[in-house]
Amino acid sequence: MAIYLTKESKVLVQGMTGGEGMKHTRRMLAAGTEVVGGVNPRKAGRTVDFDVPERLNGLAGAPSTVPVFGSVREGMEATGADVTVVFVPPAFAKAAVMEAADAGIGLAVVITEGIPVHDSVSFTAYAASKGTRIIGPNCPGLITPGQSNAGIIPADITKPGRIGLVSKSGTLTYQLMYELRDIGFSTCVGIGGDPVVGTTHIDCLAAFEADPDTDLIVMIGEIGGDAEERAAAYIRDHVTKPVVGYIAGFTAPEGKTMGHAGAIVSGSSGTAQAKKEALEGVGVKVGGTPTETAHLVLALLEEGRDVTHS
């Protein structure tokens, strides 16, 4: 089952014909994603051939011919697409997401980094009013290993399994996927490192809690805002599955943006320490390093196994 993305998902790519769009569409196809079209009003009616020599998961490699549509609506009408992945540059991202929401798509995964926050505020509010879920912006997307990959997360790190992962950071997602590659994941969601994102830790926690294919949840946070503190309160009240946490940015100085636009400690708010304490306060085990976090996961899974067997 997984969350948000399955093998049934039909995926459009906005900005497919650009450099990043081409590269990652090929990778998505190789991961088994059903990419049904690109969107570019200036190239509508054409097709793009992606030579995918070898697919993961035992799928046969073959050239994949992907049509380009003039709009998200056209693409949806022609293919039944229900997911769009947005690679368009920051200046055009707002219009692209608004268009996707207007067309009534269920999920828009916004990879683009560097979108002005006023634009993100506008399109997340607009998408919510249209019933479109946004993941991102400034995120690596999400992957349901063995089924589908919407975004730029490498598909060959790990295999299908029963851990759900939600993270603000791309590379920390990859690191944890790698550490736990032999266990495998149901779905990994990179929600993005911007101050305003469409899908939050809490949304993913709720989805993983309801997902019969997920046994344990890994939640990765970082400095800035209070999303992790809110997530902790949500876990206390609504999550029965075990959650393991990791927080980055203990050594970040106050007032400096650490790479991600949202990663900033302002005054005494948004510190890693406060986030760790909030999570531990509701019984979440928090790892000191990514490796230690993976070990906590392994130990909990081991414990669960013992309990089931006794």
Partner 1 sequence: MDLYEHQARALFQEYGIVVPRAEVTDSPKEAREIARRLGGRVVVKAQVKTGGRGKAGGVRLAADPADAELTARRILGMDIKGHTVGRVMVAEPVDIEREFYVSYVLDRAAGRFLAIASAEGGTEIEEVAAVRPEAVARVPIDPAEGVTSSKAGEIAEAAGLPTQTVDVLVRLWEVLVREDAVLVEVNPLVRTEQGRILALDGKVTLDDNARFRQARWGAQDAEHDDPLEAEAAAKGLNYVRLDGEVGIIGNGAGLVMSTLDVVAGCGARPANFLDIGGGASAQIMADGLSVILSDPSVKSVFVNVFGGITACDAVADGIVQALDAVQLTKPLVVRLDGNNAPRGRALLEERAHPYVQQVSTMDGAARRAAELAAAD
How many CB atoms within 10 Å of residue 62? 12
Give whichever of 11 and 263 is closer to partner 1, judged by the CB atom: 263
Per CB under 8 A, 136 contacts partner 1: no
Per CB under 8 A, 131 contacts partner 1: no
Per CB under 8 A, 251 contacts partner 1: yes
Residue 181 burial by Cβ neighbours in a 10 Å radius (0-12, 13-18, 19+): middle
Region from 33-41, 58-66, 74-82, 109-117 binding partner 1, contact rule CB under 8 A = 109-117
Per CB under 8 A, 185 contacts partner 1: no
24, 260, 295, 309: the active-site residue: 260
CB under 8 Å to 305, separation ≥6 — which residues? none
How many chain residues are in contact with partner 1, going by CB under 8 A? 62
Give Cα separations from 199 to 107, 108, 148, 167, 231 (angstroms). Answer: 10, 10, 19, 11, 12
Locate tokens 């990043």: which residue? 20
Task: Among 252, 265, 278, 296, indicate the residue that binds partner 1 (CB under 8 A).
Answer: 252
| Dist. CA 118–CA 225, nearest whole Å | 17
Give the pairing of strands 185-190 and 216-222.
unpaired
Helix 90-102 to helix 117-130 angle (10° resolution) is 10
Q: HSE on the CB side for 132, CA within 13 Å? A: 26
Task: Among 142, 205, 235, 261, indicate the residue that binds partner 1 (CB under 8 A).
Answer: 261
Instruction: Give me the least distance between CB of 6 and partner 1, in Å please.
Output: 23
Give whichever of 47 and 171 is closer to partner 1, judged by the CB atom: 171
Per CB under 8 A, 141 contacts partner 1: no
Per CB under 8 A, 114 contacts partner 1: yes
Tell me which H or E stretch contains 235. helix 227-238
Token duo for residue 107: 């999920």
Per CB under 8 A, 171 contacts partner 1: yes
Per CB under 8 A, 62 contacts partner 1: no
Task: Return the residues of window 80-99 that contact partner 1 according to CB under 8 A.
Answer: 90-91
Q: Is 54 helix (H, G, I), strand (E, B) or coil?
A: coil
Per CB under 8 A, 220 contacts partner 1: yes
Can 260 be counted among the known catalytic residues?
yes
Token duo for residue 101: 């929401």
Per CB under 8 A, 47 contacts partner 1: no
Per CB under 8 A, 118 contacts partner 1: yes
Instruction: Give me the least distance between CB of 238 and partner 1, in Å please.
Output: 17
| Dist. CA 299–CA 309, nearest whole Å | 15
Instruction: Give me the least distance between CB of 305 and partner 1, in Å please.
Output: 26
**Catalytic positions, written as ranges:** 260
Query: What residues make contact with partner 1 under the rule CB under 8 A?
Result: 90-91, 114-118, 120-122, 124-126, 152-154, 156-157, 167-175, 178, 193, 195-198, 220, 222-227, 230, 246, 248-253, 256-263, 272, 288-292
